[in-house]
Amino acid sequence: MKKFLGNEVFLGLLITLLSVFTAISSYQGALAGGAQNDAEIKGMQELNDGNAVYLTENQNIGQDYNYYDNWYLNETERPDVAEYYEFNFSQQLQDAIARDPNTVWDDQYYAEMSAASTEYFDGSEASFKLAADWNQRGDWLQLVLTIMAIGLAFAGWASINKEESNLRAFFSLLSIIAFVVGLLYYFTTPVVG
C-alpha cells in the first residue's frame, strides 16, 4: 500500500484530478455567484417597481374615496355634480358598487386595485428566493473548492517526500480522502432551477 500511495504516476494523477476539480468547482461557484447577483438585482428592481406602483394604487384608491364621498354628498341635492363624480369612478369602484352598493369597499375592490403591485411583490419574492438558492449552491461549491485545495496541498506535500517515506504515503492518503470527500460534496451540490 505504501508503494502504491508513493508512486510518482499515482501522485501525478491525483494532483491532476484534484486540480481539475478545484478549477471546475471554482468556475461553477463563480457562475453561481453571477446568477445570484442577477436574481438579486431583478428582485430589487421588482421591489422598487412594486413600491412605485403601490403608491400610485394608493393614490387611486384615495381618489376613489374622494369621488365616492362627493358623489354621495351630492347625489340627492345636486345630481349634476354627483354625476360628474360618478363618471370619474374607477372601473373597480363601479364593479364594487354593482356587486353590493351597501358594501362598496370590499376585499375584492382592494385586491383589484392593488393587483399590479402584488404581482411585482410576488415576482420580487420569487427572485430573492432564486438568489438564495444560487447563494446556497455557490457556498456548497466553495466548500468543494476548499476541500479539493486542501487535498491538492496534501498531494503536493506527498510529492516532495522521498518515495520510501512514511510521510509521502500519509499525505497521499490524506489527499485521496480529501478527493473522495470533495467528490461526494460536489455530486451532492444543490441544483438550481
Residue range 100-118: average pLDDT? Answer: 94
Give the residue ranges of DSSP H helices in the chain.
2-5, 8-74, 79-87, 91-99, 107-113, 115-160, 166-187
What residues contact residue 109 under an 8 Å CB cut-off, 6+ apart?
92, 93, 95, 96
193 within a domain of the structure (yes/no): no
Q: Is the dihedral of CA 89, 93, 94, 100 positive or negative?
A: negative
Residue 8: band (very low, low, confident or very high) from pLDDT cuts 50, 70, 90? confident
Distances (CA, A) of 66 to 63, 73, 111, 175: 5, 11, 19, 75
Total domains in the chain come to 1
- Considering the chain, what is the average pLDDT of its residues? 94
What does the pLDDT read at residue 111?
97
85 within a domain of the structure (yes/no): yes
Tell me the Cα Rg of the chain. Answer: 33
19 within a domain of the structure (yes/no): yes
What does the pLDDT read at residue 161?
83
192 within a domain of the structure (yes/no): no
pLDDT above 70 coverage of the chain, percent: 97
Domain with 80, as residue range(s), is 2-187
pLDDT tens readout for residues 141-160: 999 999 999 999 999 999 88
CB 151 within 8 A of CB 19: no
Position 143, amino acid: L
What residues contact residue 48 under an 8 Å CB cut-off, 6+ apart?
none
CB 124 within 8 A of CB 53: no
What does the pLDDT read at residue 2?
60
Residue with cell 363624480: 85
pLDDT tens readout for residues 25-83: 999 999 999 999 999 999 999 999 999 999 999 999 999 999 999 999 999 999 999 99
30 within a domain of the structure (yes/no): yes
111 within a domain of the structure (yes/no): yes
